[in-house]
Amino acid sequence: MFAPWFVAAIVVASTIVLVAPRVALAHAVLVSSQPGANSTVSGPEVAVLLKYNSRVDMAHSTLTLLAPDGRVEKVAIESEPEPGLLSAKLTGLVKGAYVLRWQVLATDGHITRGKVSFQVQ
Ligand SMILES: [Cu+2]
């Protein structure tokens, strides 16, 4: 049969193959948000909090807001209260459907994008 060192080498190699892709996939995924996806909030001021599963680079992350009238405007990221949490403030929102689009750079160098749709009543 196989020598113990050979079996050990196979185990180590398999472990590396199984673990490596997970490390490579450690880019930022949105865990939760405020406003929540498809939620209804009150305007005209809406506080935004985006929580990611990993640390993000605030300076290389962007937010844009698609308004009910079709206008798209850039939203300034105010702060990162804790690693992986971005905060911003939306002002002057009228009643209607909005889409907040986000793009963040994770510390693994990967950019991820997504959107949060919500209604202002
Ligand atoms: Cu990644």
Calpha distance 4→88 (Å, rounded): 57
Q: Give Dmax over CA atoms of the chain in angstroms.
A: 74
Q: What does residue 65 show for φ and ψ, rounded to 5 degrees?
A: -120, 125
Ligand 1 centroid to 83 CA: how many Å?
A: 16
Ligand 1 centroid to 47 CA: how many Å?
A: 28
Calpha distance 83→79 (Å, rounded): 10
Q: Please give the mean pLDDT across all residues of the chain.
A: 89
Q: What does residue 34 show for φ and ψ, rounded to 5 degrees?
A: -135, 115
Confidence at residue 3, expressed as pLDDT on a 0 to 100 scale: 74
Residue 18 CB neighbours (<10 A) = 9
Ligand 1 centroid to 106 CA: how many Å?
A: 7
pLDDT digits (tens, 9 = 90+) for 58-71: 999 999 999 999 99
pLDDT digits (tens, 9 = 90+) for 10-43: 666 665 555 555 555 579 999 999 999 999 999 9
Bigger pLDDT: 1 vs 51: 51
Bigger pLDDT: 17 vs 112: 112
Q: Answer whether 84's CB lies under 8 Å from 111's CB.
A: no
